[in-house]
Structure 1
Amino acid sequence: MRQKPSRAVYGLLAEFPNADSLCAAAKEARAHGYTQAEAYSPFPVEGLEEVLGTRRSWVAPATLIGGVLGGAATYFLQWYAAVIDYPINVGGRPLHSWPSFIPPTFELTILGAAVAAVLAMLIQNGLPQLYHPLFEVEEFELASRNRFFLCLPAHDPVFAPGPARDLLEGLHPMLLREVPA
């Protein structure tokens, strides 16, 4: 007898009416060993990051590094041009007149930090992402308006379709959908 090929699943998606029920569902999923659960809400929910166990952001260190590199490179470029490459004695001032180097150094420190922050944020968020399997669930567009979603992805080590469905059904969601991969 020939078996039907199983359909690939991205995970299970449950919809909740408010932030409190989403936090409670996330706590329950975490208690059952789900380490890669994903939560979606129309606004930041206090305490949800800790419940889901999200990793610390590396945007701030990248911003610092971008600022330091931008400032150091600008100062070095000005110093090299004024002292080494093309020294000009203007009004008897020293060749390494650091006060005149400060405004451009400051500006490019800010520019380097801003560019590094934007790039780090885009990389960490996985953007630009033109397609995600959750976009196939019609109700998911409400995540940006007034609904709260919890997704148990199939790539989580403890994911099994039956027990995951039972867990989510026990949390009494408004909607429970299987997300195709």
Structure 2
Amino acid sequence: MREPTPHTEAFGIVAEFDRAEDLVNAVHKTRDAGFRRIDAYTPFPIAELTDALDFTENRVPWLTLAGGLFGAALGYGMQVWTNLDYPIDIGGRPLLAPPAFMLITFELTVLFAVLFSIGGMLILNHLPRLHHPIFSVDHFHLASSDKFFLVIFGDDDQFHPGHTRAFLDGLQPVAISLVEHTEEPE
């Protein structure tokens, strides 16, 4: 999910929950209330959360496919070009022997698929990123151990700091925090 730019009033408002079920219920209620620019942070994967968030990002698989196709074309093309540019007739064997080209073609397919997917994931996640505005939330470090967080981004069409905070308060979270845009530390 794309995050709000620093031109918005605030990065968002974060609600902290103790249980995964509470977070999933809160996400359902938030979506039902009309909020669309939301995200959740959990210490472990929650299957129901993907559907509740309506998460449909699929750019990394397409990058993986593009990398695999590029690697296959590069591997096969390199071997064809090499055999045609430097022909060596050995025992009457054909210069272009597709079965012999499959090993290198397969290896470069896998190599470039992996490189494209890792590179794409790093770029799409804006990594390496040393600071994120949500890191300023007091207990957010617990998102990797036992707490669950829901954020409504500041660029949501229905976002208003007071109304959004009141809405989140009705979901009975442990805590609510307004997240401001912060500069990356130097």
Q: Deviations over 1:40-97 (max 9, x none)?
A: 00011111122112223222222122111101111111111102x1111112211112
Match for residue 17 of structure 1?
18
Unpaired runs of 5+ residues, structure 1, are 1-7
Name the SS of the counterpart of 1:152 in structure 2: strand
Query: CA separation in 1, counterparts of 2:180 and 2:69?
Result: 45
1:1-181 alignment runs, 5 A limit: 8-83=9-84, 85-181=85-181
For 1:54, what is the secondary structure of its paired residue? coil
Q: Distance in 2 between the 1:114 and 1:96 partners?
A: 28
> Identity rate of aligned residues, in percent?
41
| Superposition deviation, residue 130 in structure 1 | 1.8
Q: Deviations over 1:122-176 (max 9, x none)?
A: 2332322222111111210000110000111111111011110111111111111
TM, length-normalised to structure 1: 0.90
Deviation at 1:99, TM superposition (A): 2.6
> Is the partner of 1:138 in helix, strand or coil?
coil
Taking structure 2 as the reference length, the TM-score comes to 0.88
Task: Please say which structure displays the higher CA radius of gyration.
Answer: 1
Structure 2: state its 5+ residue gaps: 1-8, 182-186
Which deviations, in whole Å up to 9, do the C-alpha atoms of 1:11-61 show, x marking residues without a partner?
A: 111100111000111111111111011110001111112211222322222
| Whole-angstrom distance in 1 between the partners of 2:89 and 2:95 | 7
Distance 2:145 2:26 in 1: 20
Which region of structure 1 is more displaced relative to structure 2, 127-136 or 117-126? Answer: 117-126
Q: Distance in 1 between matches of 2:57 and 2:11?
A: 25
State the alpha-carbon separation in 2 of the partners of residues 151 and 132 from structure 1.
13
Match of 2:4 in 1: none
3-state DSSP of counterpart to 2:152: strand
Contact 1:35 1:53 in 2 (8 A): no
Structure 1 vs Structure 2 CA RMSD? 1.3
Which residue identity lines up with residue 92 of structure 2 in the other structure? G
**How many residues align structurally?**
173
SS across alignment from 1:126 = coil
